[in-house]
Amino acid sequence: MNETVRHDMLATISKALEILQIAEEKDIYELKNLSNTTIHNASIFQDQDSITLAVIIYSISKIYERTGSLDPKLKTHLEETKKFLIFNHEENFHKALRNTVMHISRLDHKLDLYIQEVIQQARIKKGSKIYEHGISMAQAADLLGISQWQLMDYVGKTTITDSTPQSIDVKKRLEYARGLFK
């Protein structure tokens, strides 16, 4: 695992655990923003672990937003994941990530369909963030295990494709290029 990614994931998990310790309504937005920070690594390194962590944290925020409470085992799962990451036990770390996703899926029989929908929507939303960082739609969809159609449908409803980068005047670009060769 890339050391930069490992360090950032440790910081992200630590911050999520800190937020979950307090777990107030205002913290939902912090969790959502925190899940977006891992997308940066996913777009640069195309790291599946960062994506999975982003989906987990976003899913936790949505569960808390809808139910107003959290299963204490979620915190335990995140602590275990952090421990394996600290000691660089990559295989156990991957297993802990999978167990966390499975636990989120099995929280409550009544919530099971909702949780699956939350996880799917989180993947789509995170896919749009990866696409926004300049990764192709096909790669973003592939990284998250969603279809391009699902991602296109979501991106089409956002303003991501509407924004164009600020262009620099042609004369200024030419002057700059000529200045490089002086």
**pLDDT at 170 exceeding the cut of 90:** no
Assign 165 a pLDDT band (cuts: 50, 70, 90).
low
The C-alpha torsion from 16 through 53 and 11 to 46, rounded to 10°, is: -150
Q: How many domains does the structure of the chain reveal?
A: 1
Q: What is the mean pLDDT of residues 160-179?
A: 69
Both tokens of 38, joined, read 């891992």
**Structure confidence by residue, pLDDT tens digits, 41-90:** 666 666 778 878 888 888 888 788 877 777 888 899 999 999 999 999 99
Query: So what's the pLDDT on residue 65?
Result: 80
Taking the alpha carbons at both ends of the chain, their separation in whole angstroms is 44
Q: Is the pLDDT of residue 14 over 90?
A: yes
Owning domain of residue 44 = 3-180
10-16 mean pLDDT: 91
Better pLDDT: 38 or 102 = 102
SS3 89: coil
Distance CA 66, CA 75 (A): 18
pLDDT over 80 at 161, yes or no:
no
pLDDT band of residue 166 (cuts 50, 70, 90) is: low
Alpha-carbon dihedral sign for residues 90, 118, 145, 27 = negative
- What is residue 50's predicted lDDT score, i.e. its pLDDT? 82
pLDDT, tens only, 92-136: 999 999 999 888 877 755 555 655 666 777 778 888 888 888 888
Tokens (6 digits) for 15: 């911050």
Report the pLDDT value the prediction gives residue 90, as an integer from 0 to 100: 92
- pTM to 2 decimals? 0.64
Location of structure tokens 């089409």: 156
Q: Which pLDDT score is estimated for 112?
A: 59
Predicted pLDDT at 116: 67
**Window from 15-29, 65-79, 162-176 with minimum mean pLDDT:** 162-176
